[in-house]
Amino acid sequence: MTTANRRTGLRSNRNFRLLWTGQAISIVGDLIFDVTVVLWVGTVVAGGESWAPTAVSAVLIAAAAPILVVGPLAGVFVDRWNRRTIMIWANLAQAILSFAMLAVAVTGGDLPAVTQLSAICFLVFLSNSAAQFFNPARFAVIGQAVPESDRPRAFGLFSATSNTAAILAPPLAAPILFASGVEWALGINAVSFLVSALCVWAVRLRPAEPAERTPHQGFWNELKEGFAFFVTMRPLVILILGTCVYMFGIGALNVLEVFFVTDNLATNASWLGTITAAAGAGTIVGALLTGRVSGRLGEAKVFSWGLVAIGLLVLLYSRQTALIPALVVLMLAAVPLGMVSTILGPLVLKIVPDHLLGRVNSIMNPLTYTTSITAMAVTGVLAGTVLADFDTTVAGVRFTTVDTVYGVAALFMIAAGAVVFRPLRNALKKAPEGGQDAPAVSDSGAERV
């Protein structure tokens, strides 16, 4: 397929446009909701109370727990049931739960603070549990709706949309909460789920062939089947190891970023938001470039060389001592980061058979999430104990706590990129196709599945 055809493929792909529209609206609602709930609990429900920080922590734990508790199990059902139907019902459930939270907000004045908090945590847990079904189902539906040649660009647009929303949506949360009340943010989130469900309902895909459907073998047997495939499929193992390395490095950077700004860059902590926005802008650029670059280099090179590029630029970033050069270097480092994050989806679709996508996706997500959390915990402990007063000079170059951690993380990324390239490229050549290149049917005469 020519480059010109690839560029126009997504424009004429009705299913992709619907999926993209639904996600764009839903992600904005989600981000406004996430920030609003934290502000609502911290300043209204537990406002003025000594246990307010604990209340906020409880909400964050309720939001994170489904990733680790529900996520690994949801994949079995995603592989059993109709993925499009799962997405619709998950969105509808999330809309109902958002309206239930709206009811808590409206009647909150008549309820004890602890009761309000318990209800909020419970509803947040249920909503994020529904997301553990929606996300792997959406991943598989994208694989069916978008031909293989268009997937890097498709995932790039999804990623760019999410990162753009992450920059623009959170600043809207506080004004909405304090000017209009929490009810508006909760209502916006509920409506966004309804719109997303409507978009998914309008998607038309070819019916699954009988050969693509596998008989049920029992929940635990199916779960073990997905895990066995995950640990024995060499390109998948290589891919996830490389992903965990860079996720560990990014987690370490996030924990110490404020200290890098104040200590290494010798500037006010208020610039942290600008630095975060610069990184987000670079990630968006990288996501949008992924389709073009992977078409020329191939997915394996984008992933492995991207890791090396991230590491080199983070290493350079760790040596910065002034704000403006640091902003430039970080934005440049975020470009390959956006590419690596984006190309992961097309690579997984290329490797994993359709009937295992839900289970594999539900293993990968908790694993990468756990890696990120572990990185933040380990970094915080090391920076606060063993490396708390680290300050030494080697060959005329000064190393302190933060830049040393950044430098070590960067070296791991470089090593990971260099190590995984050849095995990943060779493994991809030998691996059977995941069976995801079946094009969506045209609008005329299409069947809803």
Query: For residues 435 and 432, what is the distance between their CA atoms, to the nearest angstrom?
Result: 8
Q: Tokens in use for 209?
A: 């062939």
Does residue 98 have a pLDDT over 70? yes
Query: For residues 134 and 132, what is the distance between their CA atoms, to the nearest angstrom?
Result: 6
What is the value of pTM for the model shown? Answer: 0.84
More confident position, 348 or 388: 348
211 pLDDT tier (thresholds 50, 70, 90): very low
**pLDDT for 248:** 86
pLDDT tens digits for range 120-145: 999 999 999 999 999 999 999 998 89
More confident position, 92 or 29: 92
Q: What integer is the mean pLDDT of 379-405?
A: 83
First to last CA, the chain: 28
Residue 429 amino acid letter: K
In sequence order, the 6+-apart residues with CB closer than 8 A to the CB of 118 are: none
DSSP 445: T
197 pLDDT tier (thresholds 50, 70, 90): very high
Query: For residues 184 and 190, what is the distance between their CA atoms, to the nearest angstrom?
Result: 10
pLDDT tens digits for range 218-277: 888 888 888 899 888 888 888 888 888 888 888 888 888 888 888 888 888 888 888 888
Does residue 209 have a pLDDT over 60? no
Query: For residues 295 and 286, what is the distance between their CA atoms, to the nearest angstrom?
Result: 14
**CB–CB of 255/383 below 8 Å?**
yes
Q: Which of 109-118, 137-146, 244-253, 371-380 has the highest mean pLDDT?
A: 137-146
Q: Which of 8-12, 310-314, 344-348, 394-398 has the highest mean pLDDT?
A: 310-314
* pLDDT cut 90: percent of the chain above it: 31
| Domain chopping of the chain, boundaries | 1-205, 216-433
**CB–CB of 78/362 below 8 Å?**
yes
Q: Which range among 6-15, 43-52, 233-242, 348-357 shows the weakest confidence by mean pLDDT?
A: 6-15
What is the Cα 6 distance to its own chain's centre? 25
**pLDDT for 435:** 47
330 pLDDT tier (thresholds 50, 70, 90): very high
Pick left, alpha or beta for residue 362 (phi over 0 → left; psi -120 to 50 → alpha; otherwise beta).
alpha
Question: With the CA atoms of 294, 296, 299 and 304 taken in that order, what torsion angle do they form, in degrees rounded to the nearest 10?
Answer: -100
**pLDDT for 124:** 92
Q: What does each C-alpha distance from 12 to 231, 320, 344, 363, 444 come to in angstroms?
A: 38, 45, 24, 33, 13
Query: For residues 72 and 150, what is the distance between their CA atoms, to the nearest angstrom?
Result: 29
Helices (H), 298-400: 299-318, 323-351, 357-384
Q: What integer is the mean pLDDT of 78-100?
A: 93
CATH class of 1-205: mainly alpha
DSSP 352: S
Q: Which residues pair with 392 in a beta bridge?
A: 399
Q: Do domains 1-205 and 216-433 have the same CATH topology?
A: yes
**pLDDT for 260:** 87
100 pLDDT tier (thresholds 50, 70, 90): very high
Q: Quickly name the fold that domain 216-433 has.
A: Growth Hormone; Chain: A; (1.20.1250)
Does residue 4 have a pLDDT over 60? no
**pLDDT for 235:** 84
DSSP H/E element including 392: strand 391-394
**pLDDT for 411:** 92
**pLDDT for 126:** 94
